[in-house]
Structure 1
Amino acid sequence: MLSLKSALAKPFAKKIYKRIQKWANSPVETQEKVFQDLIAKAVSTQFGKDHDFISINTYEDFVKRVPVKDYEGLKSYVELVVEGSENILWPGKPLYFAKTSGTTSGAKYIPITKESMPSHVEAARNAILMYIHETGNSRFVDGKMIFLQGSPILKEQNGIQLGRLSGIVAHYVPKYLQKNRLPSWETNCIEDWETKVDAVVEETLPENMTVISGIPSWVQMYFEKLQQKTGKKVGEIFKNFNLFIFGGVNYEPYRAKFENLIGRPVDSIELYPASEGFFAFQDKQNERGMLLQLNSGIFYEFIKADEFYNENPKRITIKDVELGVNYVMIISTNAGLWAYNIGDTVEFTSIKPYRVIVSGRIKHFISAFGEHVIGKEVEQAIQEAILNTSVRVSEFTVAPQINPKEGLPFHEWFVEFENEPEDLQAFAKRIDTSLQKQNSYYFDLIKGKVLQPLKITKVKKDGFQDYMKSVGKLGGQNKMPRLSNDRKIVDEFSQLV
């Protein structure tokens, strides 16, 4: 029999479904309204005055006055806000700064305002409600749910709270979920990631876990520790665990590994959260891609990734995007980010409604020889190579080898196997064939004998984890880049192979 909470979830889910359909079915109008609201509210800010917001009536006006910027480009404004100044990027002061460790800029301080905060919470909630509406499954709301996240301990700086995004969001868990939520506050506050995961294992083992959520690489560590402690598959330990919620990285390279750790299939929901905004979530179990959040105080622009580094690349809005094109996503938000390049590349899988997949990072590519191989391509290549085999990959990254000791240059794949292929060369060939099929530039370079086919270097067990720990990036919101255009990262951890 359904509990009251489980029964009430269904009509609530239906109500949210109808609300989402309303804006999803009028996407261009929804985005135009968001755009006009953002400009109107920020017209008297320092940024608004500097960029003549009072004269902006159309998107074309905005493009002329507001150039695309990354964090470095907005840094002078952000620093004023950090120092305590008001009305700089957005009216008043932010509620929070989500502090992230940028790869190029050192620490980044991403503002979160009272207007932007609700969307971080509501989008995750709505993803679960859309799942309930589609599947009719609401029993999991009676069990325990775990959200593996950063410490919720916040610091204050000039009247603004400072912390990791996941730690900030921990303060906004709805009351009706508080009793069901794990880990405990004390465990959540443990800074050392390995110590924290050990404590999470102890807390969750005796519980009726129904929902598990987190970045796949963190959850993998948790699952492995559960298995080490009990000798059982996760699906056997938690018999009612039927929903895995994840975000932050492409799940596909982890899928085979997770199915093995769990021991049975479970439903999953993919999210696309970031400190800069909650951009998308999976709204259908059998549709590829995540529903772009068009009504969350975020105005989106897109630039074709292969034109991004041109002198004056064309900026477009959602009405002009095409399916299957790799775009750099640019955002303007009610947290005071303007024409801001978050660094992600996306690809549209549907335009009725607008759904995206994250295809990689604009800075994470290999084009040492003009091939412009991107994250999505290497992930798909390894996925195809694993298909219908017993091979399981824990983690991998790719870098160019420009000056090999002998022979032509090549792409070097550093792979940590959980279950190795019997024939490593044949496995490498399958990956290479897939990559050539996907990327015509790479195909031409192999065929033209500019490059030799890729080579795999095996990484020892937990090698990637050891590397992330050595650079102080284990846990948190940190992820291993799938590929780099140089050998800086792989040279740093080459002693671990």
Structure 2
Amino acid sequence: MSIKSFGAKLFAKYISSQIESWSSQPEQTQLKVFKSLIKAGRKTKFGEDHNFDEIETFKDLFDNVPIQDYEELKPYVDRVVDGEKDVLWPGKPLYFAKTSGTTSGAKYIPLTKESIPNHTNAARNAILSYIHETGNSSFVDGKMIFLQGSPELEEKNGIYFGRLSGIVAHFVPNYLQKNRLPSWKANSIDDWNEKIDAIVEETYDQDMTIISGIPSWVQTYFEKLHHKTGKTIGELFPNLQLFIYGGVNYEPYRSKFENLIGKSVDSIELYPASEGFFAFQDSQKEEGMLLQLDSGIFYEFIKADEFYDEKPKILTIGKVEVGVNYVMVISTNAGLWRYNVGDTVMFTDKKPYRLKVSGRIKHFTSAFGEHVIAQEVEKSIISASEEFDVQINEFTVAPQITPEEGLPYHEWFIEFEKEPSDFEAFADRIDKLLQKQNSYYKDLVKGNMLRTLVITKVPKNGFQEYMKSVGKLGGQNKVPRLSNDRKIAQELEKQI
């Protein structure tokens, strides 16, 4: 055992004891975070506008500050971008993480001196939790590849702007720098296809032990490695032990990954976002990711089916239940106050609090009142694919409300790596699995309001071409699993 490997085990034991300390006291931990946030918020323009001097309890916060998304917070963010101090958080943020996807264009999410450790320590702690649980630390001596955005940043009014993953690249510890790939030069390439090609050239002959990135881009990287060398990933990297991912569910990709690698490897799921690093997988044995309750983020939860009610019931951590679909609202030490992240989550455990991402509050299909969510479609296609020995590269679902003939239906756009021998039977099986999970959908099908789903094949790399056409290729961008309209469907139809 190397000195680095031995040191990693000792550090893992220390960090795991810290995690145990706060995760075993969830309500006390969140109350402490709440008080520190309100104290800092009193020194800000936002705090002045929302009576922070009068806020002492959770209810005071709920009464004085409305739940808001980026568009509603944007007037304050614009003042910070223009260089004004003490607007959302004392002083100025160190960085703005630039993301896409709002009606007014790019989003600028602040990262402060206080919030940066939340982003940088969570992934580290996930790996250390893995080491502590499994006893395996030998991989720290090998090469580690992180597929991420460009680390090159722009500066304006004393604040640096860039992609979140590129910002975080500036905080990789010195003891990992020697092991880290790709090079700064390759990582700085903007075009993602060119970037992957450059990374392949730099890494195909290295002793890779950890690979991290969004599954769709890691899959592209693996495919290009295989095309260049003719070898499986397991043959190229015989010591590959760990895949770290976040942003999307890995399960639809798992069979394809294991086929490309030639073996199964352990995986760690992360729940990162520009707004905060919310959770990480702390156990290979338990379902879900550990919610970070001590990282400068105060959480609220609202049942998804009540979210659009005039006065939905707001729950703090001690009131949530396992198996319920919640919208997550956050207040953070980066100056985001009662901010609707847009995600829906479902708790898998309460001792400690672990959760999984179930979808997006705006990404659902309910054109007919069925309210199908991402978790349901992913579970259905994963199970059916295993039964039919099918491999999926990517998929999305949209309603077809006005078909040329017959009843309306859900249209599943699927890019196959390995197609089913019987498309009709495969589609029927997915449909039955979806009906089993969603009684509203089942009632609509059984009541002849909907016909069973229809599969439309998307050509190879079709989803990449779609993402490129809308300016969201690469980085942390991912294809929505569900839509309540046909905007994505119409773009995909152009390729078919």
Provide the rounded CA distance (Å) in 1 between the counterparts of 2:2 and 2:381.
44
Could you tell me how far 1:311 is from its partner in structure 2?
Answer: 1.3
The equivalent of 2:290 in structure 1 is 291
Q: Percent identity?
A: 70
The equivalent of 1:38 in structure 2 is 37
Q: Hey, what does 1:7 align to over in structure 2?
A: 6
1:356 equivalent in structure 2: 355
Aligned counterparts of 1:352 and 1:141: Cα–Cα separation in 2: 30
- Find the residue that maps to 1:30 and give its secondary structure: helix
Q: Which residue of 1 aligns with 2:137?
A: 138
- Write the distance in 2 (CA, Å) between the matches of 1:314 and 1:106: 32
1:420-454 deviation per Cα after TM superposition (whole angstroms, max 9, x unaligned):
00100100001000110100100110011000000
CA distance in 2, matches of 1:222, 1:332: 36
Normalised by the length of structure 2, the TM-score is 0.99
- AA matched with 1:149: Q
1:59-458 correspondence runs (5 A) = 59-458=58-457
Counterparts of 2:98 and 2:43, CA distance in 1: 26
- Classify the secondary structure of the residue corresponding to 1:366: coil
* Cα distance, 1:244 vs structure 2: 0.3
Which digits, 9 at most, give the CA deviation of each residue in 1:200-225, with x for residues without a partner? 00111111000000000110110010
Distance 2:371 2:43 in 1: 42
Q: Deviations over 1:290-342 (max 9, x none)?
A: 00000000000001011111111111101100110000000000000000001
Per the TM alignment, residue 230 of structure 1 is displaced from its structure 2 partner at its CA by 1.1
Give me the whole-angstrom Cα distance separating, in 2, the residues matched to 1:90 and 1:22. Answer: 28
Structure 2 residue aligned with 1:479: 478
Deviations 1:351-374 (A, max 9, x none): 100001000110000110000001
Per-residue CA deviation, residues 31-67 of structure 1 (Å, 9 max, x unaligned), is 0000000001110200111110111111011111111
Distance 2:478 2:104 in 1: 17
- How many residue pairs get matched? 496
1:103 is displaced (CA, Å) by 4.3
What is the CA deviation profile of residues 226-278 of structure 1, one whole-angstrom value per residue up to 9, with x for unaligned ones? 11111111111100001000001011111111111111010000000000000
Where structure 2 has 5 or more consecutive residues not aligned to the other structure, the ranges are: none
Q: What is the one-letter code of the residue matched to 1:111?
A: P
Alignment-derived partner of residue 28 in structure 1: 27
Instruction: Please state whether the residue corresponding to 2:494 is helix, strand or coil.
Output: helix
Normalising to structure 1: TM-score of the pair? 0.99
Contact preservation (8 Å) 2:71, 2:102 = no
**Counterparts of 1:104 and 1:224 in 2: how far apart (Å)?**
35
The CA distance in 2 between the partners of 1:265 and 1:105, in whole Å, is 43
**Cα distance, 1:463 vs. partner?**
0.8
Asked if 1 retains the 8 angstrom alpha-carbon contact of 2:288 and 2:356, the reply is yes
Letter in 1 for 2:243: F
**Per-residue deviation at 1:104?**
3.2
Q: Which amino acid aligns with 2:351?
A: K
Residue by residue, what CA displacement relative to the aligned partner does 1:133-187 show, whole Å, maximum 9, x if unpaired? 0001000000000000000000011110000000000000000000000000111
Structure 1: runs of 5+ lacking an equivalent: none
Report the alpha carbon displacement of residue 389 of structure 1 after superposing the two structures with TM: 3.0
RMSD: 0.7
Q: Distance between the aligned counterparts of 2:442 and 2:102, measured in 1?
A: 31
Aligned partners of 2:388 and 2:426 also within 8 Å: no
Structure 1: 4+ residue segments shifted above 6 A: none
Q: Distance between the aligned counterparts of 2:472 and 2:49, measured in 1?
A: 37
